[in-house]
Amino acid sequence: MAQALKNPYTLSFGKSPKQIISRNSSMNDIIETFNDDNPSQQLYMITGVRGSGKTVYMTELSQKIQASGDWIVVELNPELDLLEGLAAKLSGETALAQMFKTAKINLSFFGFGVEIDGVAPIRDIETAIEKMLLTIKKCKKKLLVTIDEVAKNANMRVFAGSFQIFIRKNLPIFLLMTGLYENIDLLQNEKTLTFLYRAPKIELKPLNIRTIADNYKETFKTNDQTAMHMAKLTKGYSFAFQVLGYFTWSNNGNYKDALGDFRQYLEDYVYEKIWSGLSKGDKRLAYGIAKVKSGKISEIRKELNMETNEFNPYRKRLVKRGIIDGEGRGYVSFTLPLFEEYVLDNYDE
């Protein structure tokens, strides 16, 4: 491996690395749906544990959608006024601005666009966007809006309400959102936004271990056994795949020398944040899972002196957050590599 080359892996959240394992199957389903003449869905929510690759997935997906037809793609910041941000970005595109001017849409009241003689400025932002979307529709184009790391706040509630109106009026607006399970859940349970509850969710599962092994084998020119061992160390966790690859590259292809940095980076930049967001009951259950090596639920309950009706709600919470895998009947296990050690080191009874 030539060290003069740039490290193909990244430690940055949300940045698309050179080495990426695509999730083409689910992406193709969404692209086909959005490109349909009569789409059954105009919204998908992408969720998963911190570091599962939500932002990278959405970025790759939006790029593929944009390349698949006459699409306009706009990324919005969930901490800002989303409707004003959308109108500003659309009017800031030279080709679109000319289209809106030809359609006599006067956006000067909002501080963007130009005055149009004989046309009163639009003073309601929702009305302005509706007119812009009608123009986009007449030009046989579609608009994709992407929002990363959504949360239940006033900006998101207003935007979601307007989005519901737009799709009810058969306007060509589509939405991709990413968010942690707890934030998506809060948003879906907002009483005034019941349509979000029915919106499909893409839950990012672990990457394929064999595919990770093939990637490591090719990058580090190693043998099957070593590549597979490295892949299993990541448990298919997207961020761990990048971190182990990054530090292995920095250690001249020797993954064993990278393990200390691998563990510390996961703990400092991911696990500490995940741990701080868990309730006391969540942490107690995590401790039981970490202590009982077999992963057998009956043994974990016995260790914690916890009845089934007390155990199950916390188990479901950790499964939905993507922290544990509950698919094996009667067993649970952590989805995150080396998380057992972190829990044992940090749990305080």
Containing domain of residue 305, as a range? Answer: 277-346
Same domain, 270 and 121: no
**308 pLDDT exceeds 50?**
yes
- 171, 290: one domain: no
pLDDT attached to residue 16: 66
Do both 114 and 199 map to the same domain? yes
50 assigned to some structural domain: yes
Please tell me whether residues 174 and 314 are part of one structural domain. no
pLDDT (tens digit, 9 = 90+) per residue, 221-250? 999 999 999 999 999 999 999 999 999 999
10 pLDDT more than 70: yes
| Whole-number CA gyration radius for the chain | 24
Does residue 196 sit in the same domain as residue 292? no
More confident residue, 261 or 327: 261
Decide if pLDDT at 151 tops 90.
no
Q: Is 239 helix (H, G, I), strand (E, B) or coil?
A: helix
Residue 232 is predicted with a pLDDT of: 98
- Same domain assignment for residues 184 and 53: yes
- Residue 294 pLDDT more than 80? yes
Residue 74's CATH number? 3.40.50.300
CA 297/CA 58 separation, integer angstroms: 35
Residue 341 contacts residue 286 (beta carbons within 8 Å): no
pLDDT class for 273, splitting at 50, 70, 90?
very high
- By DSSP bridging, strand 333-334 and strand 324-325 are antiparallel
Confidence of residue 115 (pLDDT cuts 50, 70, 90): low
Q: What is the pLDDT of residue 4?
A: 62
Instruction: Verify that 139 and 232 share a domain, yes or no.
Output: no
- What is the per-residue pLDDT for 194? 77
Q: What is the CATH number of the domain that holds 309?
A: 1.10.10.10
- Given this model, what pLDDT does residue 160 score? 93
pLDDT at position 111: 75
pLDDT at 2: 44
Residue 44: helix, strand or coil by DSSP?
strand
Instruction: Please report where in the chains the tokens 């920095």 appear, as a residue.
Output: 250
Bin 28: left if φ > 0, else alpha if -120 < ψ < 50, else beta: alpha
- In which band, very low, low, confident or very high, does the pLDDT at 113 lie, cut at 50, 70 and 90? low
Q: Does residue 137 carry a pLDDT above 80?
A: yes
Q: What is the pTM of this model?
A: 0.88
**Mean pLDDT highest for which of 152-156, 180-184, 286-290?**
286-290
**Is residue 9 included in any domain, yes or no?**
no
Does 48 lie in the same domain as 178? yes
Sign of CA pseudo-dihedral 168, 170, 171, 174: positive
The answer to whether residue 1 scores a pLDDT higher than 60 is no
Q: Do residues 183 and 27 lie in contact, with contact meaning Cβ atoms separated by under 8 Å?
A: no
Average pLDDT for 297-317:
95
Residues 47-62: what's their mean pLDDT?
A: 93
Of the candidates 147, 170, 203, which is a domain's last residue? 203
Angle (CA) 26 274 175, round 5°:
35
The pLDDT score that the predictor gives to residue 78 is: 94
Q: Let me know if residue 4 belongs to a domain.
A: no
Asked whether residue 63 falls in the same domain as residue 190, the answer is yes
Is residue 223 domain-shared with residue 283, that is, in the same domain? no
What is the Cα–Cα distance from 241 to 228, expressed in whole angstroms?
12
Could you tell me if residue 19 is inside a domain?
no
The span from the CA of 261 to the CA of 249, in Å, is 12
Residues 261 and 281 in one domain: no
Q: CA torsion 266→213→225→259, rounded to 10°?
A: -10
Report if residue 11 sits inside a domain.
no
Q: Per the structure, how many domains does the chain have? A: 3
Q: How many C-beta atoms surround the C-beta of residue 239 within 10 A?
A: 23
Same domain, 192 and 230: no
> How far is 8 from 192, CA to CA, in rounded Å?
45
What average pLDDT is seen over the chain?
Answer: 91
